[in-house]
Amino acid sequence: MAMKIEIDLDDVFRDENGYPEESSEDSIRRQILARLTNEYRERLFARFDDELAAIMQAQIREAVGMLMPALVEDIMNAEFIPVNNYGERSKPTTFRAEIVKAISSELIYKPKNYSSEENTFTRAVKGVVGEQTKAIEKALRAEIDESFKRDAIAFAVTKIQERLGLSK
């Protein structure tokens, strides 16, 4: 690490009070010590500021973590008056009531021409119905295929027996 030391010659021949009674050696020593002390102080305060900021952030995170549930509860129950785009005021309500109202309005089955226009509830219901339909269709196909095979084999055996003149 390179260090640059500047010496003010006007200050070299004067003491710290501005009187020309200080020796050159004492003056140079005083200036070097003052410069090193100032640089060390600046680095120390910068490090102190960084560590203090880290401690403060940790304390804030901890405080927010402890207070957040109460704050959220207060916010959810805080009453406000909604204002629309035209400045018209409606009845006082709470965030909790508005969330319940928004969720309730989305819990209506409303099929549309395009699935991208449907609400989440409609898509979920269609998904569940589709899965159940596929499961039922698969079970029916398996049962029908097995029954069809049995009946086809029995029919074929009966027809062969008739043609061959065999009795049952």
Domain check: are 13 and 62 in the same one? yes
Domain check: are 62 and 118 in the same one? no
Going by C-alpha positions, the residue among 72, 70, 91 that lies closest to residue 80 is 91
pLDDT, position 20:
64
Overall domain count for the chain? 2
Domain check: are 67 and 122 in the same one? no
Domain check: are 167 and 117 in the same one? yes
User: CA–CA separation, 97 vs 83, rounded Å?
Assistant: 16
What is the maximal distance between C-alpha atoms in the chain? 145
Whether residue 144 is contained in a domain is answered as yes
31 is written with which tokens? 């200036």
pLDDT, position 55:
92
Domain final residue, candidates 53, 77, 101: 77
Q: What is the pLDDT along the chain (168 residues), one digit of tens a residue?
A: 677 777 766 666 666 666 666 676 777 777 788 888 888 889 999 999 999 999 999 998 888 888 888 888 888 888 989 898 898 899 999 988 988 888 888 788 888 888 888 888 888 888 898 899 998 988 888 888 888 888 888 888 888 888 887 765
Neighbours of 125 (CB within 10 A): 15
The conformation of residue 83, written as its DSSP 8-state character, comes to B
Per the structure, the complete domain to which residue 148 belongs is given by 110-168
pLDDT, position 18:
65
Domain check: are 122 and 163 in the same one? yes
pLDDT, position 1:
66
Domain check: are 73 and 114 in the same one? no
User: CA–CA separation, 43 vs 1, rounded Å?
Assistant: 14
Domain final residue, candidates 34, 57, 77: 77
pLDDT, position 120:
84
Whether residue 103 is contained in a domain is answered as no
**DSSP run (H or E) holding 136:** helix 120-164
